[in-house]
Amino acid sequence: MKPCVAVTRRLPEVVETELAQDFDVRLNSPDITFEPSRLAALLYEADGILCTVTDRFDGSMLSAGSLRTKILANFGVGYDNIETEAARAAGLVVTNTPDVLTEDTADLAVALMLAVARRVGEGERMVRSGEWHGWGPTQLLGTRVHGKTLGIVGLGRIGHAVARRAAVGFHMRILCHTRHPPDRETLDSLGAEYCADLDDLLARSDFVSVHTPATPETRHLIDSRRFATMRQSAFLINTARGDIVDERALIEALSTRQISGAGLDVYEQEPSIARGLLELDNVVLLPHLGSATVQSRVAMGRRATENLRAFFAGRPPPDLIT
């Protein structure tokens, strides 16, 4: 008998086909996000669950007892949607899908950096609304990206890939802040400087790009006090997780021009977006597209499938979190 695997969201067709070769799959073809009660029920119905960032498995669900599910194979590198300590305590294995989405997510961070600095969103809205009446020497003047200073908060795989693009492609000076200082070789390869103090990085950066994982320690890491340390000409980019940035403080900083602008792919209360953000012109808003390429999403699906295969074959899953 094949293990029963519930897949919480529609995946690229090739991934669903491959999953069905090894598992008795329960697909979500309508792709409607499951309510918490449905997710809780799945824990009693399936041997494994292939879940995504939109599925929150919290402690109360995971500690309910006598669960059938033995593995949560998360489709994504971030796994803050799962209370991993509770999963471990309940004897569940949790896996993620690192590496395969690094380059595409880094591309999107750079896209946001360019979009907000060069006012791409405003320009697009102007054209579509019929408000563009021709070229003008002072129209929609933005800020040069080339040669500026980029502060990277969290120099993991994605942060590193963004720093590489910025250093090589845009000749930017790279500052970075991480919990543990990177080794000399990593810093030298990027021509980067390590800032032990995040405030120091914020005060010296023209662009700040957030790439740290979402944990209780990083919640509201960038708050009103930290916005006050940033340059008035600076831009904040967030492609990591919404709650790393205090969104209320961000709206305040953007509307009072305490900072110049922001490019966001993630939000505190996804998918709802604070009205204050929607009303501002100096912020570019994307719908969590970081890994949204065919290539990344197929690779993420295959990586999650491989984790499930290994687990049910009695081997350690390659991307074991807990």
Site of interaction with ligand DGY (CB under 6 A): 53, 76-78, 101, 290-291
- Taking the complex as a whole, how short is the minimal distance between the CB of residue 300 and ligand DGY, in angstroms? 7
Position closest to ligand DGY via CB: 76
Burial class (CB in 10 A: 0-12, 13-18, 19+), 45: middle
Select 258 or 322, whichever has its Cβ closest to ligand DGY: 322
Residue with token string 């309940």: 90
- Taking the complex as a whole, how short is the minimal distance between the CB of residue 30 and ligand DGY, in angstroms? 20
Q: Edge-to-edge strand order for the sheet containing 71-74?
A: 24-26, 4-7, 48-51, 71-74, 93-95
Select 95 or 291, whichever has its Cβ closest to ligand DGY: 291
Return the CA Rg of the chain: 21
Select 77 or 234, whichever has its Cβ closest to ligand DGY: 77
Q: What is the DSSP letter of 50?
A: E
85 carries an active-site annotation: no
Max alpha carbon distance in the chain (Å)? 70
- Taking the complex as a whole, how short is the minimal distance between the CB of residue 78 and ligand DGY, in angstroms? 3
State the catalytic residue, choosing from 119, 173, 177, 241.
241
Strand, helix or coil for residue 54: coil
Select 20 or 289, whichever has its Cβ closest to ligand DGY: 289
DSSP element (H, E) containing 134: none
Select 260 or 291, whichever has its Cβ closest to ligand DGY: 291
- Taking the complex as a whole, how short is the minimal distance between the CB of residue 102 and ligand DGY, in angstroms? 10
- Taking the complex as a whole, how short is the minimal distance between the CB of residue 178 and ligand DGY, in angstroms? 18
Task: Extract the runs of DSSP E, i.e. beta strands, from 235-303.
Answer: 235-238, 261-264, 283-285
288 carries an active-site annotation: yes
CA distance 152 to 319: 25
CA distance 42 to 115: 41
State the catalytic residue, choosing from 288, 297, 303, 309.
288
241 carries an active-site annotation: yes
Active site residues: 241, 270, 288
